[in-house]
Amino acid sequence: MRLRCAVLDDFQQVATTVADWSPVADRVEVVSFAEHFAGEDALAEALAGFDIVVTLRERVAFPASVLARLPRLKLLIASGMRNSVIDYAAAKAGGVTVCGTASSSTPPVELTWALLLGLARGIVPESNSLRDGGPWQSTVGADLHGRRLGLLGLGKIGGRVARVGLAFGMEVSAWSRHLTRERADEVGVERAASLDELLMSSDFVSVHLALGDRSRGLLGARELALLKPTAYLVNTSRAAIVDQDALLEALHAGRIAGAGVDVFDLEPLPAGHPMRTAPRLLATPHLGYVSRANYATYYGEAVEDIRAYLAGEPVRRLG
């Protein structure tokens, strides 16, 4: 009897076509799920008959309570090499091997600039107006050249976003609690003296921090109030870094020019959620990592993980 492998959140139904699964086809039956399982009961019921699970990023949590309800599960594969929603201790105790895959930083860098440029030049409202027979030009675009881009975080992704900003002729500054002057000099940007200084001086602010206890809720009502009324905020990192209610209030009140958001407190976003209809908001359904090359890596290396596990030599182990 072949092992059964579940691929979660395969919304585009491409997991089995962007990578070659034939190396494990004789030993593994692959079933992809296009629907998202919102609660623990639905998830546990759907996965009860599977030996292997491939989960996409950090959308689906695997706490001890879920793992305890999956007695057949032996291999859990996460896309990327870091996952904060898997209980590694519980997995180990239950005999579940957890492995990861590589993940490129290029797609989120590109999406960050898609959102920033879309906001600055009013791409969506102007395109909709043109298609719907509306007015010919109704917005005045914001310039990038000579304006200040403030980055929260200057790691792998933040550093690449910074270099694109410099290529546009922007003044770029960055801040994080552990940002050194040497790192700022390496990238060629200014090191902001404080978070408040960066927020008050920037025309565009983009978030590129890892989520942790000190970054959770970093941008709340007080911090958002420091932004210029002409400033734009972009978040392709983690939703919890920006207080969602405070952001909605700022957008509705017109206290900032706009926001580009790719991450949300609840995903997929419910149909009636206020983030779907907020003014001055350019929102995308967590597309930061979604590109053909990245998917080929995720699922291609998932196949490698399965082959290695079946050979008794797991690779890219997590936890």
Catalytic residues, which ones?
238, 267, 286
**Tokens at 31, concatenated:** 């079933």
Q: Do you find a cis peptide bond into 107, omega within 30 degrees of 0?
A: no
DSSP string computed for 268-295: SPPTT-GGGT-TTEEE-SS-TT--HHHH
Q: How far apart are CA 62 and CA 183, in angstroms?
A: 35
8 Å CB contact between 108 and 224: no
**Tokens at 258, concatenated:** 């706009």
DSSP string computed for 222-247: HHHTTS-TT-EEEE-S-GGGB-HHHH
Task: Find tokens 């201790």 and name the residue.
Answer: 89
